[in-house]
């Protein structure tokens, strides 16, 4: 929940040129969002956190960025020259917060999943058209992982030919005792395919160079946590992309205790002239080897590509420039919304299926 890669500053603006604010520290991803914006040259102008129990952990961030806490969202969005508000609210609150930020004439960067219902998505689409503001989404599994980002660059550069199939595996640590109450309430987190799955669908669109897709099958279950009936601990989905490629993802809360990381996330992409595997967080059974690496095989080479510390995190710098120039080079609005839409359509399909009673593993 609090995963944040170490980011080397790669500034694209001068000091003070890009003031931003942060609010809703309900998920630890907010710290990565703040760090990413700051490393690209942004200045954290202020923080608003309405839940008093969150204020203690914020002390280090306030000290590091030499910033202040304000008393309301209205005060936050009234800061002169403010460019962006970034947030990681409880998932079912993310859209309403974004609508308020955009209504104040400010761009919004939220943690994934950006929505828990299709009605929320429709409201955000309408607000983007009406206000001209950005409703950006930090899909951190690709944007905050150097190997996942570089895989997209390799694929776009033709390293494996035309993409035929994409496979994503996303195990996670449950650590139930450390989770907030809302984590176990499906109406609040939206279901496992809506939540974790939004990462996977965003990667499908990116690696497949697709703009849409069709959900073919989906499943979401509570298979091993009967004490938390609102939790979905296993999910999977299959879809066809509008490019003709197929895609499959599996996500779960069963990362084993002996794992050296919070989740052995992997991506496999097959193309017409090669394939690659992305080992995002760990190179299992090789204790002297980190994750964040790509294994590439194509017509000309069979190579292992270490990515940590070599690729950087270009999304944040591009996003800052998009905000200033009103461009879409970091990620298009259509892409951010489509990934969320497909994940929620998969969740709806899964919700319509019969369920297996949960059992203790």
pLDDT digits (tens, 9 = 90+) for 315-343: 999 999 999 999 999 999 999 999 999 99
Q: Does 197 share its domain with 50?
A: no
Helix residue ranges per DSSP H, the chain? 29-39, 59-65, 73-77, 94-103, 118-131, 140-143, 146-156, 186-189, 192-207, 314-325, 333-351
Q: Note down the domain range covering 149.
A: 142-313+345-351
Distances (CA, A) of 339 to 162, 214, 343: 21, 12, 6
Residues whose CB is less than 8 angstroms from the CB of residue 206 and which lie 6 or more positions away in sequence, other chains included: 142, 152, 335
How many structural domains comprise the chain?
Answer: 2
pLDDT digit string (tens) for 231-250? 999 999 999 999 999 999 99
Q: Report pLDDT for 53.
A: 85
Exposure string of 50-73, with b = 16+ CB inside 10 Å and e = fewer, is: eeeeeeeebeebeeebebeebeeb
Q: Report pLDDT for 135.
A: 99
pLDDT digit string (tens) for 176-216? 999 999 999 999 999 999 999 999 999 999 999 999 999 99
Q: Does 118 share its domain with 232?
A: no
| 269 is a domain residue | yes
In contact, 329 and 321? CB cutoff 8 Å: yes
Averaged confidence pLDDT in the chain: 95
Q: Which of 138, 166, 189 is the last residue of a domain?
A: 138
Examine the pLDDT at 361 and tell me if it is beyond 70: no
| 283 is a domain residue | yes
- Tell me whether residue 224 is exposed, middle or buried, using C-beta atoms within 10 angstroms of its C-beta: 0 to 12, 13 to 18, 19 or more: middle
The pTM assigned to this predicted structure is: 0.96
Q: Cα–Cα distance between 257 and 262 in angstroms, integer?
A: 9
| 360 is a domain residue | no
Q: Report pLDDT for 265.
A: 96
Examine the pLDDT at 144 and tell me if it is beyond 80: yes
Q: Report pLDDT for 4.
A: 60
- Residue 356 — very low, low, confident or very high, per pLDDT cuts 50/70/90? confident
Q: How many residues does the chain have?
A: 361
Provide the CATH number for the domain around residue 53.
3.40.50.720
Site of tokens 């800061």: 79
Examine the pLDDT at 8 and tell me if it is beyond 80: no
Percentage of the chain lying above the pLDDT 70 cut: 97
Q: Does 79 share its domain with 184?
A: no
Q: Does 48 share its domain with 189?
A: no
Helix (H, G, I), strand (E, B) or coil at 54: helix
- In 3D space, the residue among 71, 126, 76, 68 whose CA is nearest the CA of residue 106 turns out to be 76
pLDDT digit string (tens) for 282-310? 988 888 778 899 999 999 999 999 999 99
Q: Which of 88, 104, 138 is the last residue of a domain?
A: 138
- Which of 272 and 260 is assigned the larger pLDDT? 272
pLDDT digit string (tens) for 79-135? 999 999 999 999 999 999 999 999 999 999 999 999 999 999 999 999 999 999 999
Q: Does 204 share its domain with 129?
A: no
Q: Which of 138, 161, 177 is the last residue of a domain?
A: 138
């Amino acid at each position: 929940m609090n995963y944040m890669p170490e980011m080397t500053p790669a500034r694209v603006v001068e000091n003070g040129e890009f003031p931003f604010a942060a609010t809703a520290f309900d998920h630890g991803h907010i710290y990565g969002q703040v760090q990413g914006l700051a490393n690209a040259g942004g200045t954290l102008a202020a923080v608003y956190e309405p839940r008093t129990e969150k204020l203690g952990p914020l002390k280090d961030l306030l000290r590091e960025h030499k910033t202040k806490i304000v008393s309301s969202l209205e005060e936050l969005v009234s800061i002169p020259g403010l460019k962006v508000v970034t947030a990681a609210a409880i998932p079912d609150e993310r859209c309403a917060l974004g609508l308020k930020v955009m209504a104040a004439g400010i761009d919004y960067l939220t943690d994934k999943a950006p929505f828990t219902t299709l009605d929320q998505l429709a409201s955000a689409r309408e607000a983007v058209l009406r206000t001209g503001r950005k409703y950006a989404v930090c899909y951190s599994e690709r944007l905050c992982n150097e190997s996942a980002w570089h895989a997209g660059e390799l694929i776009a550069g033709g390293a494996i030919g035309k993409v035929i199939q994409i496979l994503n595996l996303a195990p996670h640590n449950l650590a139930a005792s450390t989770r907030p109450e809302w984590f176990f309430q499906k109406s609040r987190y939206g279901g496992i395919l809506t939540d974790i799955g939004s990462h996977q669908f965003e990667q499908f669109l990116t690696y497949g160079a697709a703009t849409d897709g069709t959900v073919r099958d989906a499943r979401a279950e509570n298979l091993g946590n009967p004490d938390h009936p609102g939790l979905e601990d296993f999910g999977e989905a299959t879809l066809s992309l509008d490019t003709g490629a197929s895609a499959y993802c599996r996500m779960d809360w069963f990362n084993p205790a002996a794992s050296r990381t919070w989740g052995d996330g992997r991506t496999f992409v097959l193309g017409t002239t090669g394939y690659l595997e992305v080992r995002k967080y760990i190179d299992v059974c090789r204790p002297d080897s980190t994750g964040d690496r790509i294994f590439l095989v194509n017509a000309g080479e069979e190579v292992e590509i270490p990515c940590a510390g070599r690729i950087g995190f270009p999304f944040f710098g591009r996003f800052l420039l998009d905000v200033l120039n009103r461009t879409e080079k970091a990620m298009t609005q259509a892409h951010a919304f489509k990934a969320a839409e497909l994940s929620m359509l998969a969740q709806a399909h899964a919700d319509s299926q019969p369920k297996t009673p949960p059992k203790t593993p």
